[in-house]
Structure 1
Amino acid sequence: MKLHRNLVFATIDSLDLIFNENKQADKVLKNTLKRDKRWGSRDRGFIAETTYDIVRWKRLYAEIAEVREPFSRPNLFRLFTVWATLNGIKIPDWKQFEDTPTRRIKGKFDELSKIRKYRESLPDWLDELGEQELGKKWDKEIAALNQQADVVLRVNTLKTTVENLQNELADLEIETETLPGYPYALKLKERTNVFTTDAFKNGLFEVQDASSQKVAEILDAKPGMRIVDACAGAGGKSLHIASMMENKGQLIAMDIYDSKLIELKRRARRNDVFNIETRVIDSTKVIKKLIEKADKVLIDAPCSGLGVLKRNPDAKWKLQPEFLDSIRATQKELLNSYSRMVKPGGELVYATCSILPSENEMQVKAFLAREEGKDFSLLKEEKILPSKSGFDGFYISLLQKKEKSKKE
């Protein structure tokens, strides 16, 4: 592979913003890729994948290159050299690469690969936490989470079928495959920008990881129900639930951020979804009005996001131990408060995109042991591990609230 100056410089500029200005990788790349209209899909792919690769392996590459944060521009080129050398790419004869250490890179890589925190490129505290919570499983899970994520689509069954969408994309030379056990999913055989297709613009699909699609399935929404998606965000799961409801019944999508719900409304229009009502949680009254009114409630809880490191590798560097403590407290609070919206005999789904037991089964167990959870029982739980599924790490539990006795 021949390296092109403008693509390499765009990658270095992106890394500077991500590492030194603490910007979100996906937002940085979104802006970078608009920089030159002459770039084709291969050029944009090189910038995005190289940037993500260097973000993913930051600690390992920095150790090999013997550089420390904040990274100066020459040091960002040193990181790039490590990436290129380990990927068998010839370093060009440019002045930016004059002082980069091309020798000894492979030797240092072999040496550091024996130590997990370097091999998997992790902060010390996160490596220790993973081992503490998952024991021997941590090795397999973090190795799986360091692989590039597949692109998975969720077919919008309000507008098309899996087969029809597969054929429509095949006509555009976008090859996909179905996934056993995921009835609405199509996985791309090769990465490509699907957002520019008419099929996307016409709402025939959303991009949604296979594990995330399991949440609505376990919730098992039916037409005519009243369902609350209590932490809806921009609505990926709300849209899936609405399609399962066939637009019949009421889906109340709630969030503390109005901006996310505005995005959900926009997506709902594109998807031809019209049974969603959005409500901003700006006071406790919003929840009180719905106490014991919902057939089903989904708490897709805010979490560490450790299960989605495949697609958000910069989260490894942004996550802090104190955030984890505060997010566990938030999860406890949400279970206590939002579970009240479930009517007697109704169901509650608690889900996270984390693989840590302290955010998952331990939260549910503690909830069931508290006063707030005494009327609930656990029907089933699913722990989706990246090493087994090949997709994101998720936890999904289904709880039922007992019926009121006639005396009550």
Structure 2
Amino acid sequence: MRLHRNLCFAVIDGLYKIFNENEYADKVVQSLLKRDKRWGSRDRGFVAETVYEIVRYKRLYAEIANVKEPFDRDNLWRLFAVWATLKGIRLPDWKYFEGTPTRKIKGRFDELSKTRKIKESIPDWMDELGVSELGEATWSKEIEKQNEQADVILRTNTLKTTKKDLQQRLASEDIETEFLPNHPSALRLKERANVFRTETFKDGWFEVQDASSQLVADFLDVHSGMKVVDVCAGAGGKTLHLASLMENKGQLIAMDIYESKLKKLKVRARRNGVHNIEMKAIDSTKPIKKLHGKADRLLIDAPCSGLGVLRRNPDAKWKLQPEFIESIKQTQKEVLEQYSKMVKDGGKMVYATCSVLPSENEKQVEQFLNSEAGAPFKLIKDKKILAHKSGFDGFYMALLEKKSN
């Protein structure tokens, strides 16, 4: 591979914003990809994948390069040189790479790779937490898998098409996909591509949604004509899936504390041909109280650490703090206790997270069932998904039923 100056400069600029200005990697990459209209898909792919790879392995590369934060541009070029050397890419005769100790880099990599927290490039506290919650063997496999690039998975919008027809139409736009076993609406891209530019996407035939995430709406056991509430809807990936499972019939209430996210859902719903969604911002306790005892089904896609989706958000490793994990567990407890009151007698709810930590998952459910608010509920089933076993995002979901009086 030959390195091109303008692409490499884009990578360095992106890393500077992520590491030194605390910007989110996905937003930075989106911005970088619009930088030069002459770039082809291979150029854009190089910029995006290189930025993500260096963010993923920041600690390892910094230890090898012997540089410390905050990184100035010279330090970022050193990180880049480590990445290129380990990839077997020949460094060009540029001033930024003068004196790069290629042989020493490979030796340091072999030496440092014996220590998991450096090899997998995570903070000390995160490594300790993972071991304490999952055990050495499971955590080692899971964090290694979380450093791999995630597949692009699509969810068929069954309100508009079938999975087979979607596959054929995408093929006509030069995007090859394959079916996934045990995921009724999922297609996996054989090669990465910008699917958002396709006419198929603009016509609302699919959404991009990981295979594990697609299991959550199915888990809730919804039917046409029900009153269903998605109480942490965000931009509505799971809400739209619920709408398709309900065949656009019944009432689907999407709620979130961020009105801006619900506005994005409105745009997505229009494209998807969904018209049974009512959106409500949670700006006080009133919207919740109005729905007490009214919901046939309730989805609580709870705020969490996101330790199951680090493949998609590698910069989260560096933004997360141990005190956040503790505070989010308290939030989860409160959300379960308050929002569960919306479920009617005989109704069901799903508590879900994209975390792999038992303390955010089965232990939260156990704690809830032992509380006053959880007394009327019983656990029907739960599902733990680890990335190293499934090949997809780490997730947890529990289906609970409210006993009839």
Short-chain TM bin: over 0.9
AA aligned to 1:179 is: L
- How far did 1:221 drift? 1.4
Shift of 1:129: 0.4
1:60 paired residue number: 60
Amino acid at match of 2:275: F
> Do 1:81 and 1:97's aligned partners in 2 also have CA atoms closer than 8 Å?
yes
* Paired residues of 1:60 and 1:118 also in contact (CA < 8 A): yes
Q: Distance in 2 between matches of 1:81 and 1:96?
A: 9
Give the letter aligned to residue 177 of structure 1: E
Query: What is the aligned partner in structure 1 of residue 174 from structure 2?
Result: 173
Deviation at 1:101, TM superposition (A): 3.1
1:102 CA displacement: 2.3
Q: TM-score, normalised by structure 2?
A: 0.99
Query: How far apart are the structure 1 equivalents of 2:271 and 2:171?
Result: 22
Aligned counterpart, 1:5? 5
| Distance across 1 between alignment mates of 2:172 and 2:160 | 18
Which residue identity does 1:53 align to in structure 2? E
Please give the alpha-carbon distance, in whole angstroms, between the structure 1 residues aligned to 2:306 and 2:184.
Answer: 25
Partner of 2:339: 338
Instruction: Name the CA distance, whole Å, in 1 between partners of 2:208 and 2:100.
Output: 39
Aligned letter for 1:76?
L
Q: Residue by residue, what CA displacement relative to the aligned partner does 1:147-198 show, whole Å, maximum 9, x if unpaired?
A: 1000000000000100000001111221100000000000000001000000
Where in structure 2 are the equivalents of 1:259-338 lying within 5 Å? 259-338=260-339
The corresponding residue for 1:238 is 239
AA partner of residue 324 (structure 2):
F
What whole-Å deviation, never above 9, does each CA across 1:334-386 have from its counterpart, x for those lacking one? 00000000000000100000000000000000000001100000000000010
Partners of 1:142 and 1:96 lie apart in 2 by 32
Inter-partner Cα distance in structure 1 for 2:101 and 2:28: 28
Query: How far, CA to CA, are the matches of 1:95 and 1:245 in structure 2?
Result: 61
Partner of 1:395: 396
Match of 2:219 in 1: 218
Secondary structure of 1:346's partner?
strand
Please give the secondary structure, in 1, of the residue aligned with 2:179: strand
Contact 1:348 1:400 in 2 (8 A): yes
Q: Which residue matches 1:73?
A: 73
Equivalent pair of 1:77/1:100 in contact (CA under 8 Å): no
Structure 1 residue 79, shift from structure 2 partner: 0.2
* Larger CA deviation: 166-175 vs 255-264: 166-175
Shift of 1:109: 0.4
1:381 maps to a residue whose letter is D
Q: Distance in 1 between matches of 2:99 and 2:345?
A: 69
| Distance in 2 separating the partners of 1:17 and 1:198 | 33
Q: How many residues align?
A: 404
- Find the aligned partners of 2:99 and 2:28 in 1 and give their Cα distance: 27
* Distance in 2 (alpha carbons) for counterparts of 1:278 and 1:98: 57
- Give the secondary structure class of the aligned counterpart of 1:6: helix
Q: Distance in 2 between matches of 1:396 and 1:194?
A: 28
Counterpart CA distance in 1 for 2:193 and 2:234 is: 25
CA distance in 2, matches of 1:174, 1:105: 38
One-letter amino acid of the counterpart of residue 333, structure 1: E
**Aligned amino acid, residue 220 of structure 2:** L
Q: CA deviation at 1:134?
A: 0.4
Normalising by the residue count of structure 1, what TM-score does the alignment of the two structures yield?
0.98
- The answer on whether the counterparts of 1:65 and 1:101 sit within 8 Å (CA) in structure 2 is no
Whole-angstrom CA distance in 2 between matches of 1:396 and 1:217: 11
Shift of 1:103: 3.0
Aligned-pair identity (%): 70
1:375 aligns with 2:372: no
Q: Contact (CA 8 Å) 1:222, 1:245: kept in 2 or not?
A: yes
| Aligned equivalents of 2:91, 2:222: Cα separation in 1 | 55
1:356 aligns with 2:348: no
What is the 5 A alignment of 1:138-217? 138-217=139-218
Tell me the distance in 2 between the aligned counterparts of 1:339 and 1:264. Answer: 23
Alpha carbons 1:378, 1:398 under 8 Å: kept: yes
Amino acid in the other structure paired with 2:240: L
Gaps of at least 5 residues in structure 2 are: none
Determine helix, strand or coil for the equivalent of 2:296. Answer: strand
Runs of 4+ off more than 6 Å? none
Query: How many angstroms apart in 1 are the aligned matches of 2:189 and 2:354?
Result: 22
